[in-house]
Each structure stands twice: as structure tokens, then as C-alpha cells.
Amino acid sequence: MNKFYLTGIIAIFLLPLGANATHMYGAQITATAESCQANTYSITITGYGDTGFEVDFVGGVLDLGFGDPIQLHTETDFSSQIVNVDNCSLRISKLELNNVIFPGPGTYTINFREFNRNADVVNIRNSVDTPLYIESSLLIDPLLCNNTPQLSDSINFLAFTGSAFQQQLGIFDPDGDSLSLELVIPQENIDAPVAYLGTPLEIDMTYADNPTNAEGTGDPTFTLDTSALVWNAPNLPGEFAVALRINEWREVNGEWISLGFVTRDFTIQVLDTVNNISFTDIITSTPQAAPDEPTVQLFPNPNQGDFTLEVNEDAWSGATASIHNIIGLEIDRRTVYFGQNSYNVADCKPGIYFLTLQQGDLQRVLRFMKR
């Protein structure tokens, strides 16, 4: 029977003070060879969490790619510490499994699944009920003696509207192998992507008013190379999920072979410094109807939860009106009629909402803000 031993190690994590979130901000798995001949490795899970909670993980399941899955518990298995740097709270929690003996040479997919992401991630539908899943692929071969790529813990998660965001990745390979990077859709289980609404840039370009880069010279960009991920520049406040895969390659006898990959799943937190609104609030104005489109009005906007939808033409009378929040959850659906239709969504949290009118082939989307 294979054995492994758990040892907690202390690390540091970056998060802004006052962040409104559940607890999870991302994670990754890396592997370091202890004995290549004996197929023995040290496996490290690094998890990023909200400093408002005493723990980052609430527990999850680790699958080493062989044997039975392992149930992990926050209180006994993970160790973490919070420090303050430049008025920001920092935390990283880690779990190190030493003396993990794999059955033999081969490719192993090591994964960890924790059962709640943050609430209100802008680009994941119903994120609070979506598991956080991370995986790494490791090729074990005594002749190749492979370690996974390693990533720096000192990474930036905090962005500001109107300013270029840069996350220095600090990626290196202990064996000097070649690395290639790609953005992938975050997953909630093996071979199961989350309900992804688009990359941060795609969401930004869709919903921001007049999106532009920090210099005001063009559209925002979202670029990735081996040293950094750059978003120039966020225009919407909120939390945006990103998954980065680092692929590892080695030239053997003139042929490049894949040694596996490490996936880092993380959240970029964009704070609004332009309009002085917070988190998932988005400055909105109701888009103007096309000249030949039947008119409808929503007022006041912004509002405290009480507002009126005024239908001014018979074309919209009897239409279906549905309200969704920024992550796509439906909170209201009804039939509306000519004249004034009263709404009360005072129980909903402050933020951006979309009211969609549908009448046959006619559709109109109205944006409003609840303060």
C-alpha cells in the first residue's frame, strides 16, 4: 500500500481589503521529484482565499491519478498566514504531500475539486454553486526525471478600471524544459468546463460603456506571454475568472514531447476608480432604441429597487419581460402591458441588472442599476 505524509507549509496570499466574496480565489497543483528512480514525488496544492475567512478551503477531494480519491479538510490539512503589505491583506494556503509513490512510469492527471467558488463572478454563470477544479498532468519516467513547472506566489490579483493591469507570472521550470502558455476555460470537474460567459475582455467589450485602453487610443487588450498577463485596461468593476495552462515540453532525440501541464485558476478583482462605485456595480444608461423600434422606458435609473417600466406602444403589450443579474441568473419574469408596469426588486443586492423584453421576433434589452 502506498503511503504519503501531510506537512503544512506557510505562505502568503494577495487580496484587497474589503473584498466582497465567498472565500475562493484560485488554486494550482505542482509536483517536485524526490526520487525519479523510485517514482516518488512531493505534491503541493496552493490555494488562494478571502482574508475575511479563517480558512481558504472548506474541504475538497484530491485525486492523484491512482488509488482512491482523498478527502481533505481545511482545519487539519492546510496551513496559511495573513500579512499586510501596502494596505492589502495577503494570504496563501498550502498543502504539501510528501513521499507520494506512484505505481510506475506513465502520465498522471492530478486534480483537486473544492465545492464552491466565489459568488458573483461576472463571467461564470451561478459561480457560487460552481466547484473550483484544478488539474495538473505529470509524465513520470525514471529516464526523463521530470518536475512540473513552478509558479511564483507573489502575483497580483487587484486591478482598477481605466488602468492597465499586469500579473507577473514568475513561471520557471526546474529542469530547464520549454514552456508554452494558453488561456483555457475554467473547469468544475474533469472534462467539464464551467458555464463560462466569456473572457474578461469579451465581457468588458460587451457591457462597458465606451471601452478603451488606459491610454485612450483604442480598444482594451488582453495579452499573455511567458512573463506576464496584461489587461489594458479593465472598464468594468467586478470579479473575473481566468484559467491559465502552462504546457511543458522537452526535446528528446530530436523530437519534442509533451511532459504535461500545470493549470492555474484565478480571479482578477477589478475595483472602480473612475465612477467611484464598488465591485459589481456598473455605470449604465438605457441604450437608445433604433429609430424604427417600438419605444419603452425604464425609470428611475439608477434606483433603489423600485422602478417603472413604461410601455408606450401596443407592439410591446403582452410581451414577456425577464430580469437577469450580471451573471445570468433570472430573478423575475412576467407579462407586461401597455402603460406603466411597477417593479420592486429591493431584496436584490446592489449592482447591474438586465431587463429583456421579448415579443415574437422583437427583443429589447434595458440595463439598470440598483443602488
pLDDT in tens, 126-157: 888 899 999 999 999 999 999 999 998 777 78
Q: Is the pTM of this model over 0.75?
A: no
CA separation (Å) from 29 to 73, 98, 136, 186, 258?
Answer: 17, 13, 6, 14, 18
Q: Is residue 96 within 8 Å of 157, Cβ to Cβ? A: no
Among the listed residues 369, 357, 359, 209, the one whose alpha carbon sits nearest the alpha carbon of residue 299: 369
* Mean pLDDT, rounded, of the chain: 81
Which domains, and CATH codes, for the chain? 5-271 (2.60.40.10), 296-370 (2.60.40.3080)
pLDDT at residue 127, as a whole number: 85
What is residue 274's predicted lDDT score, i.e. its pLDDT? Answer: 52
The pLDDT score that the predictor gives to residue 231 is: 95
Give the pLDDT of residue 47.
81
Nearest CA to 65 out of 300, 260, 270 is that of 260
Specify the 3-state DSSP secondary structure of 240. strand
| Whole-number pLDDT of residue 155 | 72
The residue with cell 519534442 is: 256
| Terminal-residue alpha carbon distance, the chain | 59
Would you give per-residue pLDDT tens digits along the chain (371 residues)?
Answer: 333 333 333 232 323 323 333 466 778 999 999 999 999 999 999 887 656 555 455 568 999 999 999 988 765 666 665 544 334 455 778 888 999 999 999 999 999 998 878 877 889 988 888 999 999 999 999 999 999 999 987 777 888 888 899 988 889 999 999 999 999 999 999 999 999 999 999 988 887 778 899 999 999 999 998 789 999 999 888 889 999 999 999 999 999 999 999 999 998 888 776 544 333 333 233 344 444 455 788 988 878 889 999 998 888 999 999 998 765 678 899 999 999 999 999 888 777 788 989 998 888 888 787 87
Of 26, 27, 152, 155, whose CA–CA distance to 88 is shortest? 155
Burial of 256 (0-12, 13-18, 19+ CB in 10 A): exposed
pLDDT of amino acid 89 = 54
